[in-house]
Structure 1
């Protein structure tokens, strides 16, 4: 299900994190192609601690840090260029830093890390407001309802 390159990156994570995005939905059993991996690192790291953690996680892989000043509140993300790529987010769409601990407590343990409930992942995708995320929500909905 996941490439060895990403497994190597996941093994380097020392801080708490949650899996998000399409890969997290795939861990729940919904079928998708080969999605990238999205991680929400523990916000208690602070911005400098977050950047240090991303650098440690990336190891030898190239990192692209991005600012998202128009997000409310502003946030950052980093893309680690492994196969498939991994996006590390300072906060997923539709969530605040205060959501991390309660979600961490109710998340399902998987071999890749903790995964929030499906409803939480779908809410985040809807909040992102991108066409591909709407398509993913519809696809999961069809699978849940077992229709076409």
Structure 2
């Protein structure tokens, strides 16, 4: 289910995090091709702590840091170039920093990390507003309803 490359990266994480994105759906049992891994790092790390945690997680892998000043409030992300790539986000779509703590405690512990409830992941995908995210939500909805 997970490549050894991503498994090695996940094994380096010491900060609290939540799984998001299509990999989280796959851990929930929904089929996707080769999903990337999205992680929401604990916002209590602060800006510099977040960047330090990303560097530690990446290990020998290349990192691309990105700022998203147009987001409200502004957020940042980093892409770790492993196979498949891993995106580390300071805040997923549709959530605030204050959402992390309560979501952390209602999330299920999986072998890959804490997994938010399915409805939380679907809400985030819908809030992102991108066509590919709508397609993912529709695909999961069809699987839940067991239709075509």
Aligned to 2:32: 32
Aligned to 1:96: 96
CA distance in 1, matches of 2:35, 2:100: 23
So what's the TM-score if we normalise by structure 2?
Answer: 0.99
Deviation at 1:69, TM superposition (A): 0.5
Deviation at 1:44, TM superposition (A): 0.1
Aligned pairs, number: 148
CA distance in 1, matches of 2:69, 2:146: 40
CA distance in 1, matches of 2:130, 2:67: 18
Superposition map of 1:127-142 within 5 A: 127-142=127-142
Aligned to 1:82: 82
Aligned to 2:42: 42
- The DSSP-based 3-state class of the residue aligned with 2:65 is strand
CA distance in 2, matches of 1:4, 1:141: 30
Aligned to 1:121: 121
Aligned to 1:71: 71
Report Cα offsets for 1:91-131 as digits up to 9, x if no partner.
00000000000000000111100010000000000000000
So what's the TM-score if we normalise by structure 1?
Answer: 0.99
Deviation at 1:51, TM superposition (A): 0.1
Deviation at 1:63, TM superposition (A): 0.1
Structure 2 segments unaligned to the other structure (5+ residues): none
